[in-house]
């Protein structure tokens, strides 16, 4: 439906990883998460709400994140998600995997520049 | 599974969460300077479809949530209520298909699948040691001599060994003398089976000795009927076969072994060196013994026993088999054939409903398109559609269950006695319930999943742009495949039924050698204790015949010791002919004892010579009458040379002069052909067992029912200890001898009729839908000048396109499977061409009838209306 030409559609596993990663800094509600992901990727990653909320609820069901109701700084009642211990552990694992993969892909894309960190 | 109330709260929370997201987005946009209205608009657009987001998010909560399930059911119920015709047809179709299957399964479950009602029934076996030349299947057991010996042998494999045999006894002293089905059993039979008496005790080993054996165990039914269930019956005496027996116990209601026994008396085995009597022997395996180990031990032991050690190796069949086989082996193949047949009916029903659902989905394309457009996921819609078909199937299953209870009653009521074993155990139990609803669910899912997938595959835009009616072409091929499959299955069943029908009519056409109509018959048993000598028996038999002749409305009367088409006890034997040394070995004839007038009464033709008469008595020369085939065999060509010749048994020197030649009679059943036989006069018969179980025959215009009181009075007056049985017309005897094939034919015919009916409905459905969907096309054709028979041709061509492949496939299928009926067929081969042609004709007719209404509708298509409706 919506989606710009330069934006990248996220793979499911990737979105989970990004959510966990984003929640590492502070608890956040859905809207805030969408904003942060867009901001951190300089607008490249556009998170569709139809993917974000299912992902949040899925992660919650998997006990990687926990949710509770809270007031936003503007007084709005919001559902805030926090990373759990299990979520942290998973994030660390995913991170290692992710780094290994980006290295590998970088290696494939830039063969002469070996060991380059992107 | 999430609980409904928690689910509800989460729904509200989700709405609130989405709402909060929107609020924050709007607030942010207003901060950036957008007007509130524009901000709201943009925020909404950016967010996307809120219903869809909620929907896909909810799906993350767990698939089989109770709430979603309830919602699907409610939605399905609403959908079904909206289209009552579809619902009624689908439910009725499932009810018939599932009902027939449940009925059959109830019978199979009770007769074959339930464990026998004994302790550890899998440890119970029966033993066979039997000359191989006599055939393996029909009889099982050990000879009396062997039984006595193996009981005295120490065994590793068998913990207990017992025997039993069915019998009949006459009960007197309580009203009219009554002939009862009884059993004589080893004292330890009940212990072997692991059953004890409900009240009182079972037999002791001492009661197996002759003289101490006058004790009796009563069945629950007999006890309640005769003694009103009074415990005081213990210790009292009842008179059986003129001997007094003490009642020592009553068995529990579930104990019915051997089947139908009203009471049990101890078995006294007296091996007779001249008689090779075979009795069933059952055993309980020792713990840890396998059947194979038991068989090996039995084999090695038999090689040492006096009665069996001299047998040549390989001439005997030695086997240890599960007890269940002894009870149900005869019924098993038939029940499986019927289960197979009835499963065809269910398949046809499923194809019908699947077609209905496809048509329904096609007409609902619009509705489904709207739902997709509104954001329902495909999985969700598929789940809803499948829920709908499963709901239909479950309602159908429930209705089928009710139908099946009636069906089981009909099956058991029409089954000939003993054809279906363990009748009292055939009830609806948890297993039947489980299988019924399991079958219903699977049927619902199978029928539903395919149409659901097919109808949600289309792009919603397409569904919405057309008004939802002109999607006739979609799934057309699938529907036709279903109908072809139905027709093919129906053909297979109809061929089976056709073969049995033809075979049955062949049986009925057999001339048994006697004229059954106008003959009434009954049996009488003379207890040995009351009639010890042949002269007593002869006097009694002759007096009954005399009295019968004097009854008003009775033309003639006589007696015979073996009723043609009877069940058991026919005596065969060899013969020697004076002056002829060449009687082939194994040439046996039936040996029958009759009173004068038997041939006339039964309408058996006398070809030459004379009937027995009052001049033939114990002081005159011994006489005999032979059947025509015997006479022709030894005195060719016409057999007339037999008259005046003398015959005797294969051993012995009591020569009988042939005084008459009569027609051969089908003695053992119409399918066995007519027997060669030799008749002896009652007045010259000295062997008591030949003449103390006799049948009287009367030629009369009166019915058996009218005559019953007079017959009872005559016999009772002559001797009150004699019980009458089976007072019935000879036509009934003939019908009873064909009860098995009649039952099989009727049952398969019912299944075939169901199959044809469902296939016809299926064909009709597809053709009618075809015509409805092609109204436009037909309208154009009519507008362009097509006349009505062109329109008819279109529909007929469509019909034939279904019927011809269905017919061909069905005939191929029939050729492949009707072989299973081989054993039930008489004078008809399983691939009988005439039957195949007839069945094809019936199917064509059924299909054309199914096509009639759609064709008429097609002919009446008005081009104006048809074209305007677009």
pLDDT band at A117 (very low <50, low <70, confident <90, very high): very low
Chain A partners within 8 Å of B18 (Cβ): 49, 53
CA distance B369 to chain A (A): 17
Q: Which DSSP string do the residues of B438-454 spell out, in sequence order?
A: HHHHHHHHHHHHHHHHH
Averaged pLDDT, B117-127: 90
B441: left (phi over 0), alpha (psi -120 to 50) or beta: alpha
Tokens, residue B409: 């009653």
- Given a cut of 90, is residue B605 above it in pLDDT? yes
Closest by Cα among B279, B262, B260 to B271 = B279
Q: Do B16 and A79 touch (CB under 8 A)?
A: yes
Which tokens hold the place of B646?
A: 């003398």
Q: How confident is the model at residue B471 (pLDDT cuts 50, 70, 90)?
A: very low
Q: What is the average pLDDT across B179-194?
A: 92
pLDDT score recorded for residue B421 = 81
What's residue B850's pLDDT? Answer: 85
Two tokens, residue A21: 């990663």
CA B607 to chain centre: 43
pLDDT tops 50 at residue B630: yes
Does B382 score more than 60 pLDDT?
yes
Q: What's the predicted TM-score (pTM) here?
A: 0.75
**CATH number of domain containing A71:** 1.10.10.10
Count how many domains chain A has: 1
State the pLDDT at residue B303.
Answer: 84
The residue of B12, B14, B21 whose CB has the most chain A CBs within 10 angstroms, and thus the best one to mutate to test that interface, is B21
Torsion of CA A62, A66, A69, A73, to 10 degrees: -130
Do A54 and B57 count as a contact with CB atoms less than 8 A apart? yes
Residue B813 Cα distances to B494, B497, B761, B799, angstroms: 11, 14, 21, 21
Mean model confidence pLDDT for chain B:
86
Find the mean pLDDT for residues B633-654.
82
Indicate the pLDDT class of residue B166, thresholds 50, 70 and 90.
confident
Token pair for residue B99? 């009902």
Residues from A contacting B (CB-CB < 8 Å) are 1-2, 29-32, 34, 48-50, 53-54, 56-58, 61, 69, 72, 74, 76-79
Alpha-carbon distance values, B117 to B220, B236, B252, B323, B839 (Å)? 15, 29, 11, 12, 44
In Å, how far are A62, B194, B250, B534, B767 from B857, measured between CA atoms?
A: 60, 69, 70, 81, 11
- Residue B56 touches chain A, beta carbons under 8 Å: yes
Determine which of B368-382, B482-496, B538-552, B650-664 has the lowest per-residue pLDDT on average. B368-382
Q: Work out the pLDDT band at B349, boundaries 50, 70, 90.
A: very high
Q: Are B350 and B756 in contact (CB under 8 A)?
A: no
Please state the rounded mean pLDDT for residues B175-183.
86
Q: Going along B713-794, which residue ranges are E strands? A: 723-729
Check pLDDT > 60 for residue B64. Answer: no
Residue B199 pLDDT = 92
- Residue B448, token pair as written in the block: 């539903």
Q: What is the mean pLDDT of residues B311-331?
A: 82
Instruction: Say if residue B101's pLDDT is above 80.
Output: yes
Worst-scoring range by mean pLDDT, B149-158, B485-494, B599-608? Answer: B149-158
Phi, psi dihedral angles at A86 (to 5 degrees): -60, -40
Average pLDDT over every residue of B709-727? 90
Decide: B854 and B767 in contact? Cβ < 8 Å.
yes
CB neighbours of B502 closer than 8 A, spacing ≥ 6? Answer: B828, B832, B834, B835
**pLDDT tens, position by position, B812-829:** 999 988 888 888 889 899
Beta strands in B233-378 (DSSP E): 237-240, 243-250, 263-266, 278-279, 281-285, 316-322
Average pLDDT over residues B217-223: 93
Range from A72-81, B156-165, B405-414, B647-656 carrying the lowest mean pLDDT: B647-656
Q: How far is A28 from chain B (nearest CA, A)?
A: 12
A69 neighbourhood in chain B, CB within 8 Å: 13
Q: What is the pLDDT of residue B660?
A: 94
pLDDT of residue B245: 94
For chain A, helix, strand, coil in percent to 5 are: 50, 15, 35
B778-790 pLDDT tens trace:
788 888 877 777 7
Widest pairwise Cα distance in chain B: 138
* Distance (Å, whole) CA B478 – CA B457: 15
A53–B49 CB contact, under 8 Å: no
Backbone phi and psi for residue B715, each to the nearest 5 degrees, phi listed first: -65, -45
Average pLDDT over residues B289-304: 89
pLDDT (0 to 100) of residue B135: 62
Select from B45, B48, B59 the Cβ nearest to the Cβ of A54: B59
Is residue B675 within 8 Å of B513, Cβ to Cβ?
no
Name which residue leads in pLDDT, A112 or B311. B311
Q: Which pLDDT score, from 0 to 100, does residue B248 have?
A: 94
B320 vs chain A: nearest CA distance in angstroms? 58
**Segments forming the whole domain that contains residue A41:** 12-109
Look at B46-60, B252-266, B522-536, B543-557 and tell me which has the smallest mean pLDDT. B46-60
Residues of A in Cβ contact (< 8 Å) with B17: 30, 53, 78-79
Give the C-alpha separation, B797 to B714, whole Å: 72
Strands B623-627 and B656-662: parallel
Is residue A90 assigned to a domain?
yes
Cα distance between residue B559 and residue B573, in whole Å? 21
B212 pLDDT more than 90? no
Distance of CA B497 to CAs B121, B161, B415, B748, B749, Å?
A: 37, 44, 17, 5, 5
* Distance of alpha carbon B561 from alpha carbon B648, whole angstroms: 19
- Mean pLDDT across the stretch B676-681? 93
In B457-596, which residue ranges form alpha helices assigned H by DSSP?
460-465, 476-509, 534-550
User: In the predicted model, what is the mean pLDDT of residues A53-72?
Assistant: 88
Domain assignment present for A3: no
- By three-state DSSP, how is residue A79 classified? strand
Length of chain B, in residues = 870
Q: How far is CA B53 from CA B40, B105, B419, in A?
A: 18, 48, 64
User: What are the tens digits of pLDDT across the range B519-569?
Assistant: 999 999 888 888 889 999 999 999 999 999 999 999 999 999 988 987 666
Locus of tokens 């509705």? B367
Q: What is the pLDDT of residues B137-158, one digit of tens each?
A: 556 788 888 888 888 888 888 9
- B859: confidence class by pLDDT, cuts 50, 70, 90: confident
Of B672, B662, B681, B698, the residue nearest B620 (C-alpha): B681
The first and second tokens of residue B723, run together, are: 């019980």
Quick check: B123 and B291 in contact, CB under 8 A? no
Under 8 Å between Cβ of B702 and B554: yes
- Tell me: pLDDT of B758 over 60: yes
In chain A, the largest separation of any two C-alpha atoms, in whole Å, equals 54
For residues B599-603, average pLDDT: 95
Flag whether pLDDT at B401 surpasses 70: yes
**Share above pLDDT 70 across residues of chain B, in percent, rounded to a whole number:** 93
Q: Assess whether pLDDT exceeds 60 at residue B229.
A: yes
Q: How far apart are CA B288 and CA B605, in angstroms?
A: 63
B364 pLDDT exceeds 90? no
**Position A5 in a domain:** no
For residue B344, which of B481, B489, B480 has the smallest C-alpha distance?
A: B489
């Amino acid at each position: 439906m919506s989606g710009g030409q330069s934006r990248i559609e996220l793979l499911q596993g990737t979105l989970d990883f990004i959510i966990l990663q984003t929640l590492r800094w502070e608890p956040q509600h859905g809207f805030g998460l969408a904003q942060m992901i867009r901001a951190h990727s300089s607008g490249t990653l556009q998170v569709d709400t139809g993917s974000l909320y299912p992902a949040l609820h899925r992660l919650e069901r998997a006990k990687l994140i926990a949710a509770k109701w809270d007031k936003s700084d503007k007084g709005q009642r919001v559902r805030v998600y926090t990373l759990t211990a299990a979520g942290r552990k998973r994030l660390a694992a995913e991170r290692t995997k992710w780094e290994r993969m980006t290295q590998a892909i970088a290696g494939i894309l830039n063969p002469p520049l070996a060991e380059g960190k992107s | 599974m999430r609980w409904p109330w928690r689910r509800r709260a989460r729904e509200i929370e989700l709405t609130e969460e989405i709402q909060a997201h929107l609020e924050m987005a709007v607030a942010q946009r207003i901060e950036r300077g957008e007007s509130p209205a524009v901000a709201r608009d943009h925020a909404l657009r950016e967010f996307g479809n809120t219903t869809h987001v909620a929907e896909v998010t909810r799906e993350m909560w767990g698939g089989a949530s109770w709430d979603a399930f309830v919602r699907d059911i409610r939605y399905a119920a609403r959908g079904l209520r909206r289209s009552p015709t579809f619902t009624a047809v689908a439910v009725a179709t499932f009810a018939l298909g599932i009902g027939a299957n449940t009925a059959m399964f109830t019978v199979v479950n009770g007769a074959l699948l339930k464990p026998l009602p004994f302790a550890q029934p899998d440890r119970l076996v029966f033993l066979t040691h039997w000359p191989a030349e006599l055939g393996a299947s029909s009889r099982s057991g050990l000879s009396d001599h062997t039984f006595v010996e193996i009981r005295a042998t120490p065994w590793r494999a068998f913990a207990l060994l017992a025997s039993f045999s069915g019998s009949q006894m006459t009960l007197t002293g309580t009203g009219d003398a009554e002939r009862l089905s009884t059993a004589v059993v080893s004292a330890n039979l009940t212990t072997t089976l692991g059953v004890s008496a409900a009240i009182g005790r079972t037999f002791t080993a001492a009661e197996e000795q002759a003289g101490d054996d006058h004790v009796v165990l009563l069945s629950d039914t007999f006890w309640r009927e005769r003694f009103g269930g009074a415990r005081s019956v213990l210790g009292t005496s009842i008179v059986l076969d003129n001997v007094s027996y003490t009642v020592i116990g009553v068995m529990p209601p579930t104990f019915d072994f051997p089947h139908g026994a009203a009471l049990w008396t101890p078995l006294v085995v007296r091996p007779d060196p001249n008689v090779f009597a075979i009795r069933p022997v059952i055993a309980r395996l020792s713990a840890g013994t396998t059947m194979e180990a038991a068989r090996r031990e039995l084999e090695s032991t038999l090689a040492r026993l006096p009665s069996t050690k001299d047998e040549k190796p390989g001439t005997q069949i030695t086997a240890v088999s599960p007890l269940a086989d002894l009870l149900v082996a005869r019924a098993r193949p038939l029940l499986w054939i019927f289960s197979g047949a009835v499963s065809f009916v269910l398949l046809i029903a499923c194809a019908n409903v699947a077609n209905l659902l496809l048509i329904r989905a096609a007409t609902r394309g619009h509705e489904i398109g709207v739902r997709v457009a509104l954001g329902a996921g495909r999985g969700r819609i598929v789940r809803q559609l499948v829920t709908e078909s499963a709901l239909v199937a479950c309602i159908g299953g429930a209705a089928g269950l009710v139908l099946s209870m009636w069906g089981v009653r009909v099956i058991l009521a029409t089954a000939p006695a003993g054809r279906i074993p363990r009748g009292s155990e055939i009830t609806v139990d948890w297993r039947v319930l489980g299988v019924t609803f399991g079958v219903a669910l699977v049927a619902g899912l199978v029928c539903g999943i395919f149409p659901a997938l097919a109808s949600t595959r289309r792009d919603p835009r397409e569904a919405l742009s057309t008004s939802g009616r002109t999607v006739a072409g979609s799934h057309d091929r699938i529907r036709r495949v279903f109908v072809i499959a139905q027709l093919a299955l129906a053909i297979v069943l109809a061929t089976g039924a056709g073969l049995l029908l033809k075979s049955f009519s062949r049986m009925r056409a057999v001339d048994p050698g006697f004229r059954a109509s106008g003959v009434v018959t009954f049996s009488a048993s003379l207890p040995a204790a009351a009639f010890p000598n042949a002269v007593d028996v002869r006097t009694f038999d002759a007096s009954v015949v005399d009295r019968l002749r004097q009854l008003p409305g009775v033309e003639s009367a006589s007696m015979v010791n073996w009723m043609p088409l009877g069940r058991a006890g026919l005596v065969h034997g060899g013969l020697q002919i004076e002056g002829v040394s060449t009687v082939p070995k194994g040439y046996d004839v039936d040996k029958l004892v009759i009173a004068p007038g038997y041939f006339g009464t039964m309408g058996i033709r006398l070809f030459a010579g004379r009937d027995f008469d009052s001049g033939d008595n114990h002081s005159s020369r011994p006489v005999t009458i032979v059947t025509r085939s015997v006479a022709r065999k030894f005195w060719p060509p016409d057999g007339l040379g037999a008259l005046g010749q003398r015959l005797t048994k294969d051993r012995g020197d009591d020569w009988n002069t042939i005084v008459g030649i009569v027609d051969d009679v089908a003695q053992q059943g119409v399918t066995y052909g007519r027997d060669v036989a030799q008749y002896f006069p009652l007045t010259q018969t000295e062997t008591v067992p030949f003449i103390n179980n006799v049948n009287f025959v009367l030629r009369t215009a009166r019915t058996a029912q009218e005559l019953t009181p007079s017959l009872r009075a005559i016999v009772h007056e002559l001797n009150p200890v004699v019980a009458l049985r089976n007072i019935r017309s000879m036509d009934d005897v003939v019908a009873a001898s064909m009860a098995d094939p009649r039952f099989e034919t009727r049952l398969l015919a019912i299944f075939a009729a169901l199959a044809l009916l469902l296939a016809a409905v299926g064909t009709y459905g597809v053709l009618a839908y075809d015509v409805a969907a092609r109204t436009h096309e037909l309208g154009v054709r009519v507008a362009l000048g097509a006349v009505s028979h062109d329109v008819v041709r279109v529909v007929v061509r469509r019909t034939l396109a279904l019927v011809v492949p269905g017919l061909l496939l069905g005939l191929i299928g029939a050729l492949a499977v009707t072989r299973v009926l081989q054993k039930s067929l008489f004078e008809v081969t399983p691939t009988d061409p005439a039957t195949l042609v007839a069945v094809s004709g019936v199917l064509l007719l059924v299909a054309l009838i199914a096509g009639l209404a759609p064709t008429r509708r097609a002919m009446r298509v008005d081009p104006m209306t048809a074209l305007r409706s677009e």
